[in-house]
Each structure stands twice: as structure tokens, then as C-alpha cells.
């Protein structure tokens, strides 16, 4: 595995972990009540989703456009 792939894979894994936390947060009783009353999720859930998306996009961008490692 080359060095340029490792940071991309780390970002993708971090994105998946944040997606899991966002899902768990959105399923909590407090978040369900807040979403039912206000029509939107809590700030912490939104931040998990935003950071997950940023990590996933950065990971995919590195995989597609990253510089190849030197041999």
C-alpha cells in the first residue's frame, strides 16, 4: 500500500465513524423530540453529518486526485 492511499483511507474511515455517531445521535430520544417539534435535528447531529461529509469528500478526492507515492 502506498503512502498516498493511507491518508485517504483514514479520512474515509473517520467519515464512516462520524456517520455512525450521527445516526446514533439522530435516534436519541432528545433528538427525536427536537426534530418532531422544530422539524430539524440538533446542532450536534448536524455537525456530525457535516464533518462526516467533509471527511468522505476529502478521502475520495485524495484517492482520485492525490499524488502517487514515489517508489
**Residue ranges of the chain with pLDDT lower than 70?**
1-4, 68-71
Q: What is the pLDDT of residue 1?
A: 55
Under the phi-then-psi rule, with left for phi > 0, alpha for psi from -120 to 50, and beta for the rest, what region is 64? alpha
The DSSP secondary structure of 18-54, one letter per residue, reads: HHHHHHHHHTSHHHHHHHHHHSS--HHHHHHHHHHHH
Looking at residue 66, what DSSP letter applies? Answer: S
Q: What is the pLDDT of residue 37?
A: 92
Q: What's this model's pTM, rounded to 2 decimal places?
A: 0.76
d(CA 5, CA 9): 6
Q: What is the pLDDT of residue 54?
A: 94
Amino acid at each position: 500500500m502506498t503512502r498516498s492511499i493511507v491518508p485517504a483511507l483514514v479520512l474515509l474511515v473517520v467519515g464512516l465513524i462520524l456517520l455512525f455517531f450521527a445516526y446514533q445521535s439522530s435516534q436519541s430520544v432528545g433528538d427525536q423530540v427536537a426534530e418532531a417539534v422544530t422539524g430539524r435535528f440538533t446542532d450536534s447531529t448536524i455537525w456530525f453529518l457535516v464533518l462526516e461529509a467533509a471527511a468522505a469528500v476529502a478521502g475520495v478526492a485524495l484517492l482520485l486526485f492525490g499524488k502517487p507515492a514515489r517508489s
